[in-house]
Structure 1
Amino acid sequence: MFNNILFPTDGSDLSDKAAATVIELARKHGGKIVAISVLQPYPFVPMGDSGVAVPDVGTYETRMMDITNDNVNKVAAAASAAGIACDTVTSMAASPYEAIVEAAEKHGCDAIVMASHGRKGLNKLFLGSETQKVLAHTKLPVLVLR
C-alpha cells in the first residue's frame, strides 16, 4: 500500500519525531522513503537611498543548502540504521509545496507523510501552511503528523 513514501523535512524537532513514524510505516509496508528538504531562495531586499546592507546571496544559499542536505541525510541515516531504503532530494523553490508535490510525482510516490506545526490564527495567515498547500495540490494520500 505505501511502497514509496515521500517525507518532506525541514530539520525541526517535529520533523525529527515524524521521521521515526515514517521509518516505521515504511518498515511495516516493506516500502522505501524519499526524503526531501526544500531551500527557499534568498528573499529580495531592495537597495534604497538609506544604503541597506544585504548579506551575500551566494553565502546564504551555500549555507542553507548545507542545512538542507543535513536535513535529508539525517533521515537517510536513521532509515539506513533501521534497514529501510531511503533516497534523498534537495530542491530550491520559492514555494516549497510545489517542490514537494513535484518530487512525489517524479519519484513515483504513493503517499506523502509530513509533519505540521499546527499554526493557528495570525501565524497561519502570515506564515502560511505548506501542509495545507500540499493537501490542496496533490491527489496522493497525505498523512499529517503533529
Structure 2
Amino acid sequence: MFKNILLPTDGSDLSEKATAIAVNFAKIHGARIVGISVIQPFPFFPMAEGAVVPDAEVFDTQLNAAARRNLDQIANAAAAAGVPFEGIIANSHSPYEEIVAAAEKHNCDIILMASHGRKGLNKLFLGSETQKVLAHTTLPVLVLR
C-alpha cells in the first residue's frame, strides 16, 4: 500500500525516533524512504550601526553540514535494514511548503514526521510545521512523538 515514504528530519531526538519507526514501517511495506531536511536561509535583519552580524556564509555552511548529518543518519539506518533511500536538502523560509512539494515531486504516498507537541504560547509563537503539513497536503500523514 505504501511504497514511497517521505521522512522530514531536523536532527532532533524526536526525528531520530521517527527514523527508527519509519525504517521499520518501510521494511514491512517494502517501501523506499525519501528523507528531507529543510534549511531556513540566513535571517538577515538590518541592525543599528556597530551591531555584530554573524557571517552568512559560515551560517549556511554549518546548516548544510548539519542537514547532511541528519540525512546520513537516515541513510545509515535504511541501509542497515535494506531499505532504499534518497536524501534531499532544501532551502526555504517555509519548511512545510518544501515538505509538501517534495512529497508530490517524489510520488510519496505517505508522510511520516515527528511532532514536538508544543502547547500554549510556544505553539502560538513557534507554530507547528507538522500542523501546516497536515493542512496543506492531501496525503496521509503519520505523526510520531
Question: What corresponds to 2:3 in structure 1?
Answer: 3
Query: 1:42 offset after TM fit, Å?
Result: 1.1
Aligned-partner SS, 1:99: helix
Q: TM-score, normalised by structure 1?
A: 0.97
Q: TM-score, normalised by structure 2?
A: 0.98
Which letter maps to 1:44?
A: F
Structure 2, gaps ≥5 residues long: none
RMSD of the TM alignment (CA)? 0.7
Structure 1, gaps ≥5 residues long: none
The separation in 2 between residues aligned to 1:52 and 1:111, in whole angstroms, is 45
Question: What corresponds to 1:126 in structure 2?
Answer: 125
Question: What corresponds to 1:46 in structure 2?
Answer: 46
Among the aligned pairs, what percent are the same residue?
A: 61
Which letter maps to 1:27?
A: K
Question: What corresponds to 1:85 in structure 2?
Answer: 84
The separation in 1 between residues aligned to 2:46 and 2:119, in whole angstroms, is 31
Aligned-partner SS, 1:73: helix
Deviation >2 Å, runs of 4+: none
Question: What corresponds to 2:54 in structure 1?
Answer: 55
Deviations 1:26-56, CA, capped at 9 Å, x for gaps: 011100000100000111221223x211011
Deviations 1:79-127, CA, capped at 9 Å, x for gaps: 0001100100000100100000010011110000000000000000111
